[in-house]
Amino acid sequence: MSVFLWVIFPYLCLAIFIVGHFWRYRYDKFGWTTRSSQLYETRMLRWGSPLFHFGMLGVVGGHIIGLLLPKSWTDAIGFTETAYHWLALTGGLAAGIVTLLGMTILIYRRRTVGPVFSATTPMDKTMYFFLGLVIVLGMWNTVASSLFGLGSVAGEHFNYRESVSLWYRGFLSGNPSPSHMTGIPLGFQLHAFFACILFALWPFTRLVHVFSAPVGYLTRPYIVYRSKDKRVGAGVGSRAPKRGWEKVQ
Euclidean distance between CA atoms 23 and 1, whole angstroms: 30
Euclidean distance between CA atoms 227 and 222, whole angstroms: 16
Q: Give the CA diameter of the chain.
A: 89
pLDDT tens for the chain, residues 1 to 249 = 899 999 999 999 999 999 999 999 888 888 887 777 888 888 999 999 999 999 999 999 989 888 888 878 877 887 777 777 788 788 888 999 999 999 999 999 999 999 988 888 899 899 999 999 999 999 988 887 666 655 544 445 677 888 899 999 999 999 989 999 988 889 999 999 999 999 999 999 989 888 886 666 677 777 776 666 555 444 455 556 566 555 555
Label residue 57 left, alpha or beta by phi (over 0 means left) and psi (-120 to 50 means alpha).
Answer: alpha
| 3-class secondary structure, 156 | strand
Write the single-letter amino acid at 25.
Y
| Phi, psi (degrees; rounded to nearest 5) at 153 | -125, 125
How high is the pLDDT of residue 240? 61
How high is the pLDDT of residue 219? 75
In the chain, alpha helices (H): 2-3, 9-27, 43-63, 71-76, 81-112, 114-118, 122-146, 164-172, 186-201
How high is the pLDDT of residue 153? 46
Quick check: 101 and 51 in contact, CB under 8 A? yes
How high is the pLDDT of residue 142? 82
Compute CA distances 191 → 36, 58, 113, 135, whole Å.
29, 17, 31, 8
